[in-house]
Amino acid sequence: MRMQWVHYFQNVVTWYLVVIKGWPDEIPFTNLSNVSNVLHQLEGLLCKWELGSVHW
């Protein structure tokens, strides 16, 4: 499985029947390579994944 930002709902949600829960409101749900947020927000997102507050 690969994350596919452009077709997330079609290629991830519909195909694998999973969704990402807990995504923070302050970070746009898009390819993170294209996000111009400050580093501490992205580090916070990583921490949330590692702690399980953002999960599949």
The count of structural domains within the chain is 1
| Amino acid (1-letter code) at residue 23 | W
H-only helix segments in the chain: 8, 15-16, 39-51
Q: How confident is the model over 26-44, as pLDDT tens digits?
A: 888 888 887 766 888 889 9
Read off the tokens for 5.
């930002």
Residue 28, domain extent: 8-51
Backbone angles phi, psi at 33, to 5 degrees: -70, -20
Q: Give per-residue pLDDT as tens, 1-19.
A: 677 788 888 888 998 899 9
* Residue 2: inside a domain: no
Domain assignment of residue 20, yes or no: yes
DSSP β-bridge partners for residue 10: none
Q: pTM score, two decimals? A: 0.76
